[in-house]
Chain A
Amino acid sequence: MNQKVQRILIYGNTIAASYTALALDVALDTSIDIVLVEPKASACNDILYGGIAPPNFYDFHFKLGVSEPDLLLKTNTGFSFGTEYKSWGPSLRNWIQCYHLPFATDHGVDFHQLVNRLDLNMGEYLVSAVAAKHGVFAHPPTNNSNNALSRAEYGYHFNAQRLKALLREKLNHRRVNVMQATIVDVKTGEQHIKEVRLDNGSVVNAQLFIDCHGPDSPLLTALAGEFEHQHAKQYIHHVEQNRVIGAACRVAQATSNGYQVEWSLQVERHVIELAEQFDVGSPKHAWAKSITVGHRNCAWHGNCIGIGHSVCVAEPLTDAPMRLLHADILRLMELFPIDVDMAVERKEFNRRYQNDVESSLLFHQAFFDYRTDGKTLATKLDRKISQYLHRGVLVSFDLELFNKEDWAVQHAGMGRTPMFHDRLVDELDLALVDEHFKQQKAGLRHLVSKMPTHADYLHKLLIYLRNKQF
């Protein structure tokens, strides 16, 4: 029988490292040692998670012992209904890429097909988009499906440093052994890491190493070299103080050589601007930091797994970075190796990782695909866009990171107009359907007119939570 995994070494001073340590602590038997080696320098790359966590982070946090009140009270977090894209693309499109439960069908006809047939603005019929647009927020009710707001989903806007601090604080009460040190040498053999030497002179060995350090990923690099796919970019990040929190959605807009994304927290506003390269000689060029966007072919080599930016740095245009991080950790939990022969787990982990990265790239690339006439099916993206432009078919592949609703909202937002419609639409009394949509639109407007602003809601919620604490 092969030796069991008895010690895990996690390396990094990042959100990814803290999430991974917490998740392993919750999931694994206490007989397994979890060592977190934390270099003093905090990774500045965490800002590239884009400050937005999708709705599944509520559950994820809950399972890790991180409650929503914790987040709100300790990390300056705000709520998020999604991202608003402003003046996007050559047609200067505006829409909110909102979070929403699966769309309802009408007599078996998909919602997006009806919207297309009636030439409606999809965002006016999605409660989270309407609420975000009007700057209002309230928790979606979970026990009243008749309330239109129950169809909304929400995520969070966060400050990466504060979020990491909260996660680290949680780790203080767990069995994770935290060592403040930097790895100065990685000893490898037979495609495995044998041990690492720290700057304090100690040597640590483990059966499994988890690299959460960031793009330079020293553990994985020692085994497999650098990212196979990389592209240099520049970014500027700045923070302004907020008196009042803004709307519950990020705002993304194109700039002359890239785009910028901004999001509002309780007391501050973050802006991150990405460009291929800022104009040489400009102040931005002087302030900009360089990053490498890209990914590895495989996230698991030998006995070393990469999580988060150690394997894939996705652009923060969408919430893909946090979706990928969540998927990385979920995959690790489901495939935590039984013993030191990790071949079976490694293969499956890498297959799923590749699928996740591919699906995040497809969604990102589609933001820059302005074709209006789709005929080719050569690639997966061609297939998705051509089929939609042809007759509004939402092509989906297995277990994508972005679901059909995400794609439907993006297609509509980008102004992709199918040439034909689903034939089942023509079975419906379109005048009646149109009337139903008008009522729905009026109902949503009425609903949001009664909702508090995001700022008021959060303000009162924080007072309530603080009072409850004491």
Chain B
Amino acid sequence: MEVCIVGGGTAGWMAASAMAKKFENQSINVTLVESEDIGTVGVGEATLPHIRFFNQALGIDEREFMKETRATFKLGIEFVDWGKIGQSYIHPFGDFGQSINNIDFYQAWLSQPSSRSNSDLSDYAFGTVAATQGKFQFPHSGQTRAQRSFGYAYQFDSGLYAKFLRRFAENLRVTRIEGKVVDTTIEPNSGNVTSLTLSNNRVVKADLFIDCSGFRGLLIEQALQTGYQDWSSWLPCNRAVAVPCERQDSIPPYTRATAQEAGWIWRIPLQHRTGNGHVYWSEFTSDQDALDTLIMQLDGKPTAEPKQLYFKTGRRNAFWKNNVIAIGLSAGFLEPLESTSIHLIQEGITELLALFPHENYAHIDGARVLQINELDSDEYNQRMALQFERIRDFLLLHYVANDRNDSEMWRYFNSMSLPGSLVEKLHLWKKRAYVQRYEHGTFLPPSWVAVLLGQNISPENCDPRCASISSDEFHRHAATIKKDIKNAVDAALPHEAFLRKFGAYYGEPV
């Protein structure tokens, strides 16, 4: 089977690498078409812990990958000024404490007034304590459960990640074609895209196309006109300006998202620089003001010209249509507040591998046309739609669960009508600190707890079962966890020292 990937950014090369590796021994030829004239957006420099499984599945060495992409470790995201101006919290990868009498630790903590006044729930999450002290260690080094109950991800240069994967994929016989797509040919009976015409008149034929062309959706939208679900009414930020700056003296093992009057600013510390960007709603600030706000908050001197991005949050009506599968920004866009851009690429690739079509061809007018079974595309579309929708609700939570009322944007969120699914979740939380669970989705209950409590959404009550836990019992339990975490963090190395010792620092031998 001939597979053609259109677009060579992070999504394109991740898809190429995964297909080349996972179908290494099958007659599936992967070609990637990209043009050096078209820049890549390079979103998603920060990631979620799931990326480690992607790299592991490809057999990528962690040290080599980190060196090549100037990666740092990431224990969570610090949210500044989201609940209230002047306040911050960390959403860590991992749980808070350990359950007590089968009751979630956070519930027991909420039920103890003395705990709430004397400690913070984040004292019971290794990721948060280590992050605030700028330290890192691997979860498997932990001696106790409290010391192991966390995850980690990476912050890396996504452009370098794409280059790293390009080498990886080309070593696995992925063919790269330099060229700009100027036309597509569609077979009228099946609706399949059969070939691309490049600006140098070269024609690239394939049976299956993966559209990684970015926001414009060259195949999924421009050619197949799939349609787009506009989620701007819920997530109205529609522009971003990004600029890198010199790195800080010490490298924080976490990403920072600072709320602004008309959006928010990201800060992603890498080994060699810090990535920064301002996501904003153009209704309430100009491009120049957004840039000025960003420049004013940089930790160091800018090291490149600002890059302007325009987007509309939402998703395609279908991610897989006929013989085209959209992965990455061509599939949809959700602002990178929780580092989900690369994660959604990974999800798209994982589902595609699981549902990859079989060689079933029709011959129409002498041309070979891949027959797509709707069972495959339907399953793919359902799974991806659920992922997008659940992440959307979680992102929206950050904007609506707070006390901010100090600008037009925040007032808009105060008065907006929320998706029913989110309204229900908030009611349950406010009444009794209950987090509605789901199985298929990226963010588990501890993430919801981190954001809700971090943004001062205090529940009126907690689980009534907490009344059966005595104050002494709780304090003994909590003190043990706190001590375990403190001991582990005390013994951990500062982040940069850990990177060097691990052998992941660029330019240094192991």
Contact = CB atoms under 8 A, between A and B. Distances in A.
Interface in B419-447: 424, 427-428, 431-432, 434, 436-440
A334 interface: yes
Interface in A373-427: 374-375, 377, 383, 386-387, 390-391, 393, 395-399, 420, 422-424, 426-427
Given A27-B465, A29-B467, A348 B436 contact: yes
A377 B375 contact: yes
B428 A344 contact: yes
A156 B439 CA distance: 28
A387 B379 contact: yes
A338 B434 CA distance: 12
Interface in B1-50: 22-26
Contact of A398 (B26, B434, B439, B467): B439
B354 A334 contact: no
Given A336-B465, A420-B358, A398 B440 contact: yes
A63 interface: yes
B438 A398 contact: yes
A30 B468 CA distance: 8
A334 B57 CA distance: 38
Interface in B143-184: none
Given A29-B467, A424-B22, 5 more contacts: A28-B467, A334-B434, A377-B378, A386-B375, A423-B353
Contact of B431 (A26, A27, A338, A424): A338
B356 interface: yes
Given A338-B432, A375-B375, A422-B354, A333 B26 contact: no
A267 interface: no
Interface string B244-273: 000000000000000000000000000000
B379 A29 contact: no
Interface string B337-364: 0000000000000000111101000000
A345 interface: yes
A333 B23 CA distance: 48
Contacts of B22: 108, 424, 427
A436 interface: no
A461 interface: no
Nearest to B350: A108
A340 to B, nearest CB: 13
Interface string A314-326: 0000000000000
Interface of A: 5, 26-31, 63, 108, 333-339, 344-345, 347-348, 374-375, 377, 383, 386-387, 390-391, 393, 395-399, 420, 422-424, 426-427
Contact of A63 (B102, B355, B439, B460): B102
B376 interface: yes
Contacts of B507: none
Contacts of B437: 399
A28 B464 contact: yes
Given A338-B461, A344-B432, A396-B439, A427 B467 contact: no
B468 A427 contact: no
Contacts of B440: 396-398
9 contacts: A28-B464, A28-B465, A29-B468, A63-B102, A333-B465, A337-B464, A386-B375, A391-B376, A427-B26
Given A344-B428, A375-B375, A424 B353 contact: yes
B463 interface: yes
B132 interface: no
A423 B26 contact: yes
Given A28-B464, A344-B428, A390-B373, A426 B25 contact: yes
